[in-house]
Amino acid sequence: MVRYFVRLLHCTWVFLLAVPGLAAAQPQAASREGTGYTIFVRGTPLGREAITVTTGQDGTTITTQGRLSAPLNVTIRSAEFKYTPTWTPVSFAIDATVNGTALLLRTTFAGGRASTEGTQAGQPMAVAHTVVPRTLVHANGVFASYVALARRLLDAEEGAEFRVYVVPQTEITARVTAVQRERMQIGTTFLDVRRFEMVFANPGGDLATSLTVAEDGTLIRVSVPAQAMDVVREDVASSTSRTQIYSNPGDEAVIIPAAGFNLGATLTRPTAAGAAAKPGAVRLPVVVLLSGSDANDRDGFAAGIPTLAQLAGAIAESGMMAVRYDKRGVGQSGGRAESATLNDYAEDARAVVRWLEKRADVDPKRIAVVGHSEGAWVALLAASRDKRIAAVVSIAGPSTTGADLVLEQQRLALDGMNLSPEERETRIALQKQIQSAVVTGKGWETVPPDLRKSADTPWFQSLLAFDPAKVIDDVRQPLLFVHGALDRQVPVEHAERLSDLARKEAKSKSVDLVVVRGVNHLLVPAITGEVSEYGTLPDRNISKDVTTAITTWLTKTSAAIR
C-alpha cells in the first residue's frame, strides 16, 4: 500500500519513565537468556533493545536496555518486569530519558491494585488503578513488554482475550483475532512459529498488532502496521532470513542478480499434471509481482494478509508462472532500503525481467508485471522503459501526483480525528510545508528537526514528485486496472481517472478496467474498507473475484501475444 508521512507526523508515542528497580536475587537453578531486537520504522532501523529473560522458582524477570534515535529520542537505561510463576505481575520499573528529560516510575501490584510512583516530565506523580490478578504489564515504547504476552499466547486460540495494564494510565483488553502457523527461514535453518493477529482496545481507538512467537514462547517479531513499525529479533532481521508466511505447492526459492546485489525471490510454477508442470518442457508466460510501500517482503504481507503470495498461487493455478521478491535491503535481498527511490524499485523489476528472459522455461515474449498500490506505479515506470514487458496490471494504483496523494490521505486520516477546524488546517499546512521543503530543499528552517529527518528521504522525495500521467504516456503495453470498490486508502475514483488517462494518453491499444465490489485496499472482502477494520476482518484471503479478473485478463492477453 502507499505510505504517507502523516502517519509519523501525527501518531502519538507514549513512553514510560521509571525509577530503576533492583532485581531480587534469583535461585541458582534459574535459566537466563539474552536476546537483541532491532526496531524499524518504515523499514529504517531506528534503535535496538537488549532483552534478558530470567526464569526460576520465583517466577520470571524480564529486563531490558535500549535506544531509539530521532524522531523518538529515547534511551532506556534499565527496565524490569517481574512476574510470579503463574504470570501474576509483581512489579515494573524503568529508568529512561525521553528527548533529554529523565523520567522515573515504579509500579507495584498487590491486592488487585497497580500503584505507580515516580517523576514524569519533571513532576512527581502517584496514581493507582484497579487491575485483574493476571494482567499483563505494558509500557509503551518499551518493547520488552511483549515478551510476557508472547509466553501467554502459547496456548491461545482465536477469540482469546487478555487484560493489559498500560503503565501508568489504564487497563485495556487485547483480543486475538487470528492465529496462523508459519515457517521462518534463517540461512538454511527453518523455525516453526505462530503469528497472532491482535487488537488492543486503546481509549483512542483499536490498534491492530501482530506478534510472531516461536514454539517455545520466544518473541520473534512485533508489527504495528498503523505506525509502520516492526520490532524484530536480530537473527531474523538479518539479510539471510525471511518468513515463509504463505507457501504455494509450486514455490521454489531463487536468487536473482540485480545492480550490485542479489534479490531473494520465490518462483511459483503451475502444478497441474502435464508438460506445463515440468521445468523446461515448455516455455510458459510469467508474471512479476510488485508490492506496495508498507509490504516490503516478497509475500506482500500487510495487516496479516500475504497478498502477493496468494496472488502468485492463483496465477500458477491458471497455468502461468509467477515471481515475487523481497525489496532491496529487506529479507534475503541485498542493497540499501534507506536510499531507494521509485526509480530504483523500477530498475529492480527490470532486473527480474532480464533474469526471466534468459530462462529456458520462460517465454520471453510473454512477461507481464503486476503491481499493487505503490507497486502499480513501479510497474508502469518499468513498463515505460522496457519493451520486454508484454503487459501491465495496476491494482489499487493512484492516479494523482504523489504530493496530491499524500495530502488526500492526510485529509482522510484527519476526518477520523476529533479536531477543531483550526487544528486540522494547522496540520495540513505543516504537511504542505514539509512536502514543499522535501521537493525544493527550501523552507526547513521552521520544521522540527525530528520531522525533517523522517521526511527528508530519497524515497519520499521520489514519491512526491511522481506523476503517473507523465509516465503512462510512454506505456505501449496492454493495461488492466483493478480496484476494490471499498478501497479507502486509494479510493476507487483513482482507478476511473487512471483508466481514462491511459485511454487518452497511453500508446497502448488495449486498456481495461475492473472494479470489484465489496473489496478493500488489501483486496479482501470488507464491510467499510477503512484501515481501522483491517485487524478484525474474518476473511484473510484475497477475493476470488480479484484473482479471477487478473488471471482471466492475463491469460487472454498472453494468448494474443503468442
Does residue 546 sit in the same domain as residue 479? yes
Q: Count CB neighbours of 263 within 10 A.
A: 26
Is residue 374 predicted with pLDDT exceeding 90?
yes
Residue 261 lies in a domain: yes
Does residue 130 sit in the same domain as residue 213? yes
Between 149-158, 204-213, 373-382, the lowest mean confidence (pLDDT) is in 204-213
pLDDT at 243: 54
Is residue 9 predicted with pLDDT exceeding 60?
no
Residue 65 lies in a domain: yes
Which residue range is the domain that position 436 belongs to?
403-459
One-letter amino acid at 270 equals P
Does residue 192 sit in the same domain as residue 268? no
Is residue 19 predicted with pLDDT exceeding 80?
no
| CATH number, domain containing residue 321 | 3.40.50.1820
For the chain, the domain total comes to: 3
User: Can you tell me the distance from the alpha carbon of 332 to that of 235, in angstroms, rounded to the nearest whole number?
Assistant: 12
The three-class DSSP label of residue 212 is strand
Does residue 28 sit in the same domain as residue 95? yes
pLDDT at 274: 40
Residue 169 lies in a domain: yes
Is residue 25 predicted with pLDDT exceeding 60?
no
Does residue 416 sit in the same domain as residue 307? no
pLDDT at 60: 95
Contacts of 198 (CB under 8 A, 6+ apart): 174, 175, 176, 177, 208, 209, 210, 211, 535
pLDDT at 244: 53
Contacts of 17 (CB under 8 A, 6+ apart): 94, 95, 96, 97, 98, 101, 102, 103, 104, 105, 118, 119, 120
Does residue 127 sit in the same domain as residue 191? yes
Q: Indicate the residue among 214, 238, 262 that finishes a domain.
A: 238
Q: Which residue has the higher pLDDT, 395 or 272?
A: 395
- 333: closest CA among 266, 267, 268, 255? 255
Does residue 201 sit in the same domain as residue 263? no
For the chain, the average pLDDT equals 86
Residue 267 grid cell: 518462483
Does residue 62 sit in the same domain as residue 173? yes
pLDDT digits (tens, 9 = 90+) for 35-86: 899 888 877 788 899 999 999 899 999 999 998 876 667 889 999 999 999 9
- In this prediction, residues 310-320 reach a mean pLDDT of 96
Q: Indicate the residue among 195, 222, 238 that finishes a domain.
A: 238
The answer to whether 3 and 458 are in contact (CB under 8 A) is: no
Is residue 270 predicted with pLDDT exceeding 60?
yes
Residue 1 lies in a domain: no
Does residue 394 sit in the same domain as residue 410? no
The answer to whether 246 and 299 are in contact (CB under 8 A) is: yes
- 231: closest CA among 421, 52, 68? 68
Does residue 191 sit in the same domain as residue 321? no
Contacts of 526 (CB under 8 A, 6+ apart): 484, 486, 518, 519, 520, 533, 537
Does residue 423 sit in the same domain as residue 472? no
Residue 300 lies in a domain: yes
Does residue 472 sit in the same domain as residue 501? yes
Is the pTM above the cut of 0.75?
A: no
pLDDT class of 151 with cuts at 50, 70, 90: very high
pLDDT at 423: 87
User: Can you tell me the distance from the alpha carbon of 129 to that of 65, in angstroms, rounded to the nearest whole number?
Assistant: 27
pLDDT digits (tens, 9 = 90+) for 421-459: 888 898 899 999 999 999 999 999 888 887 888 788 899
Q: Indicate the residue among 459, 486, 501 that finishes a domain.
A: 459
Residue 39 lies in a domain: yes
Phi then psi dihedrals of residue 489, to 5 deg: -80, -45
